[in-house]
């Protein structure tokens, strides 16, 4: 058997290890490590013995073929559990398996078709809100839009996110995860009396109350409808009364879920199901504003394909629009790294990696790696089109914005459909003009723009 080597990495400081280098510039730090130390780099971050892996075949092994040996990183998962509870993104073992099986059908194509109508309606409302020449903050606009779409898909269209304080609460609850707050959030425990942490805790409670209230109302309505009808029609009556929203599907799932479980799943969707898409769209508008050629080609495709309001059928035709979305996620993957933990001592790319360490699979680095991408820093949507892309034989795990294997993103198809329909609806009517020069990005919990993304809509 070949001797396994201990991976090397950048020299750290006593006590803090490499935390200071990583915290100052996570993207640059990870890129430098990959360039200097090869497929596995060892460093110490926030007290964790960390191994960053940049060999695509090994990433596939970790996420897919040997996923059982590499569950989610337990400490990172526990932190997330404090926010979303034991929902799909954090649960493990039998609970996760049962819940994934129960929830998966909500993301089948027939349901995505239903959601498509919501996606277009909400985008049309956003297009109506904008005024020619009046500045908008694009990240805020995309956050509101994707939250409206998600809440409609989760609870049906009669939930008013303003009236119920859901928009404000989600914003407050995600604030500690924003770049400006991260240095403090990293080191301060949740109970520290800092105003933004107190507001986040209150927002958390508010969201729990709202979800409980919506679930109670829904259960009560279903019971009332059932008791109004008799006989065989009874069971069906309760179901027919609801639309095809996610909540109905959880209530109707074969495996009965407790109210607490439903609440954790709903919190998980609020956390995982809109911000990542909002960020993708924010980066996409920035990239389009810098690339006139891509913008013109996108507009030409929309003008030639759409016959009025975009539909789900158009999504299958809009190849360039899809390529724009994929390319935006290549350059700016909202999930900039995926974390795992080996359950035993393992060998990765010839290096020994100990049980219980933190494995980092950096989408940010892989998506910009010159081994797999021609001119990696350039925005080139055509690289995703048959016959136009210059790269061939790219390994599957050179690109994994939605992860891979059994824990891959359940909302993948929802997010891709949503991004395409939002772009199709908005770019049919508006062009967005950038009001700043450079867009700084920070790798916080998700990849985020550093400052305001201010743009001016111009009618097309």
CB of 339 to ligand HEM, least distance (A): 7
Q: How many CA atoms lie within 13 A of 82 on its CB side?
A: 12
φ and ψ at residue 459, rounded to 5 degrees: -65, 145
Q: How far is CA 230 from CA 7, 217, 220, 269, in A?
A: 69, 22, 17, 35
- What minimum distance in Å lies between the beta carbon of 89 and ligand HEM? 4
Integer Cα distance of 119 and 155 in angstroms = 14
Q: Which two tokens stand for residue 411?
A: 């909302």
| Smallest distance from ligand HEM to CB 81, Å | 13
Instruction: Rank residues 12 and 244 by Cβ distance to ligand HEM and give the closer one.
Output: 244
Instruction: Please say which residue, 72 or 206, places its beta carbon nearer to ligand HEM.
Output: 72
Give whichever of 88 and 331 is closer to ligand HEM, judged by the CB atom.
Answer: 88
Query: Which is closer to ligand HEM, CB of 38 or CB of 403?
Result: 403
Q: How far is the CB of 359 from ligand HEM (least distance, A)?
A: 11
Smallest separation, CB 220 to ligand HEM (Å):
26
151, 153, 155, 156: CA torsion to nearest 10: 110
Q: Using CB atoms within 10 A of its CB, is residue 254 exposed (0-12), middle (13-18) or buried (19+)?
A: exposed
Place of tokens 């694009």: 138
Residue number, 238 or 285, with CB nearest to ligand HEM = 285
Give CA–CA dist 448/256, Å, rounded. Answer: 37
Pick 373 or 402: Cβ nearer ligand HEM: 402
Q: By Cβ distance, which residue is nearest to ligand HEM? A: 411
Smaller CB separation from ligand HEM, 197 or 360: 360
As a whole number of angstroms, the distance between CA 111 and CA 414 comes to 9
Give the DSSP letter string of 4-66: PBPP-----BTTTBTHHHHHH-HHHHHHHHHHHHTTEEEEEETTEEEEEE--HHHHHIIIIIT
Q: Position of tokens 């949740």? A: 190
Q: Which is nearer to ligand HEM, 81 or 226 (CB)?
A: 81
Output the smallest distance, CB 188 to ligand HEM, in A. Answer: 25
Closest CB 327 distance from ligand HEM, rounded Å: 13
Residue 99 CB, shortest distance to ligand HEM, in Å, is 8
CA proximity to 50, closest of 84, 26, 86: 26
Under the rule (CB under 6 A), what is the footprint of ligand HEM?
72, 88-89, 100, 268-269, 272-273, 276-277, 280, 334-335, 338, 401-403, 407, 409-411, 414-415
Residue 107 is given by DSSP the state G
Distance CA 308, CA 130 (A): 19
């Amino acid at each position: 058997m070949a001797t396994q080597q201990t991976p090397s990495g950048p020299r750290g400081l006593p006590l803090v290890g490499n935390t200071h280098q990583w915290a100052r510039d996570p993207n640059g730090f990870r890129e430098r490590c990959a360039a200097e130390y090869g497929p596995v780099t060892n460093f110490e971050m926030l007290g964790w013995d960390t191994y960053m892996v940049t060999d695509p075949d090994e990433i596939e092994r970790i996420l897919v073929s040997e996923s059982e040996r590499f569950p989610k990183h337990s400490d990172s998962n526990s932190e997330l559990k404090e926010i979303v509870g034991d929902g799909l993104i954090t649960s493990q073992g039998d609970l996760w398996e049962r819940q994934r099986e129960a929830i998966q059908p909500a993301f089948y194509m027939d349901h995505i078709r239903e959601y498509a109508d919501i996606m277009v309606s909400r985008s049309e409302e956003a297009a109506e809100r904008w005024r020619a020449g009046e500045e908008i903050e694009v990240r805020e606009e995309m956050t509101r839009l994707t939250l409206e779409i998600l809440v409609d898909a989760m609870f049906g269209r009669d939930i008013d996110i303003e009236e119920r304080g859901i928009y404000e609460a989600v914003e407050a609850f995600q604030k500690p995860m924003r770049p400006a707050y991260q240095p403090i959030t990293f080191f301060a425990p949740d109970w520290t009396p800092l105003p933004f942490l107190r507001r986040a805790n209150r927002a958390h409670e508010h969201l729990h109350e709202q979800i409980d209230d919506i679930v109670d109302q829904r259960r009560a309505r279903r019971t009332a409808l059932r008791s109004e009808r008799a006989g065989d029609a009874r069971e069906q009556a309760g179901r027919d009364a609801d639309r095809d929203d996610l909540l109905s599907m959880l209530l109707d799932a074969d495996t009965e879920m407790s109210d607490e479980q439903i609440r954790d799943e709903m919190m998980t969707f609020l956390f995982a199901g809109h911000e990542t898409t909002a960020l993708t769209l924010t980066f996409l508008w920035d990239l389009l504003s810098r690339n006139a050629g891509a913008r013109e080609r996108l507009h030409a495709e929309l003008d030639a394909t759409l016959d009025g309001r975009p539909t789900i059928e158009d999504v299958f035709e809009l190849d360039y629009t899809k390529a724009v979305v994929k390319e935006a996620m290549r350059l700016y993957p909202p999930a900039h790294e995926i974390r795992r933990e080996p359950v035993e001592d393992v060998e990765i790319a010839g290096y020994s990696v100990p049980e219980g360490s933190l494995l980092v699979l950096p989408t940010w680095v892989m998506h910009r790696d010159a081994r797999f991408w021609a001119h990696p820093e350039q925005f080139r949507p055509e690289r995703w089109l048959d016959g136009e892309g210059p790269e061939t034989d790219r390994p599957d795990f050179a690109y994994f914005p939605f992860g891979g294997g059994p824990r891959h993103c359940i909302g993948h198809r929802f997010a891709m459909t949503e991004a395409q329909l939002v772009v199709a609806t908005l770019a049919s009517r508006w062009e967005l003009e950038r009001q700043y020069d450079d867009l700084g990005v920070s790798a916080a919990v998700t990849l985020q723009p550093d400052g305001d993304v201010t743009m001016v809509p111009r009618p097309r």
